[in-house]
Structure 1
């Protein structure tokens, strides 16, 4: 038998889900008492609160003054789709696919828009060959692979004198990783990730080059209302001043404002990144001394500091069939949830079996310190159950 004694300490907050993610420390529903409820989102006070969310986003992230920031429907997915449907077509297209959502964008571009795009792919845990990125092509990519735990280390693979536009899905990178704004024309994310906000709404950031593309190009396909960003050949600027395409949840908006206020109060982006790095460091130290587990992202330079993906490498498990390995990973996550020490930490359904632990700034480092002994205990307990079966 391998069973270890149950650890004495428990994480104070066991929410380690990779989306929706843990609320910010100290959060409670009373923080939302000023929400603009029972009023139109187009009222003066409603638009002001939406504009506040936009302005605070710009401040915390350091978005350049000449970039537009808007709140759009459909979470990060909606924001990405708006860009794909509105901008792609006039140039060759390349897509980086190294995790589930990057592969979704491949499907949308090649199967729905039916564009003859070049796909640069890589298996889970690795990055594609970034030297193949062309400066004459439009580029669609995820900065951080939420389902693979792999991120691009920087934007050096994007040419400063590029001719195409870059569309970056940054939903689990924003507020935790350095985004090279000069290399990015479209940046998308959702409140439900690094801010620990509520779901359903996305944020869309456009560079002047992205605006120029919108105003100079009309796609050949019909444009759904939810994706329309121009009128009369010009970008609808109201969308980036507090107007929205459809009715937003003002409760979710208030929650985002609260999270952004908290982010600013602790030191803004710099401190949020430091907290995420410190959280990753806890798991790195634990993995380094733990023989049964390894990072899915093998290269530390490309390892995510938010959606940290782990795989079981113990030969007693790694030698099993793929189905048996997946079953073991599910049982491992189930044991942790049953004990109430780690909720929703199973690997993404399309990813290799394992665990996925959110390490963004809304997670306390002390909770990760308390979690690691439980990971060892859960592994030993699940292995015992397997061997006894």
Structure 2
């Protein structure tokens, strides 16, 4: 295998500014970012609903958590800060407000309450596994085991469930890896509270850490001599789950896809979930940062406001600004890297515009031209359309996947 540079999802992004729809620059890493965004999008153009979604979106899942009345109360508090101050307002004022509000709302309205996070990740893992199998029902061919890599997979808990369900669906054992650079930022509270079941016939998830630029520096955590990126064995499955946008620029994204193509087996499958966002990228960056804050408060209810501000600044410095792209651009990048689309979901109607693309490569690429055509078909974005439905040669799925699960 050729030596390549593989930038993973959580490499520190270089500072950059982004221009929003009104052509006024908002600096994501600015000490006044939250107020600048709120004033421009709520005070000036009335996007209250979208902004409220950005501040509480992580709770809008199948379990629910923050009550509508509490969401409205948060918005009132944030807007009052803007109306009571002139000029620029520091992020600290808004983070102090979030701290006071969140730790005072009823426990039943907290993000950590309600639902079974293990079941949530298991359901999501099953949906992803079925999309992979639908893209290539003969995944791995005659191999007795499959090798998969989750690029930017953080704690590897979702990776575990995808591998588990892939193993169950194919009857093969799975050797799963997460590819990461070390970072101080954590993951969402649902993942933190998950206790993984036994891996069964699969190998446990192992994390490959490297320096962010040269894959020759990679090694499995705890196994300094092992580098699966350069051992000459190809991967059968790869996934980017809301991680490709963390690459610092489009060149790094394109480079990663090309390098992945070089490491993937000719009958391999890669699945990517992303945000179809060019106009709301600031809100999505804020969504992720606020999720980090709620996670920290769930983990330590006695956290100080100063510590919470430090957590926010650490996250923004390590993970933003993010580089988002449309479905059309992602498909173009994937095609240039040697992939073909096997399935494409609609973008969600919510402001984060989530969509998924599953891709194949090599001689067994299905090459569904209808999928390519659908990218420019406005009907694919209509809420009445099924998110994902397929009739596999290996099994009949005919199951519409919930937009909350992928």
TM-score, normalised by the number of residues in structure 1: 0.31
* Higher RCO structure, 1 or 2 (CA under 8 Å, sep 6+): 1
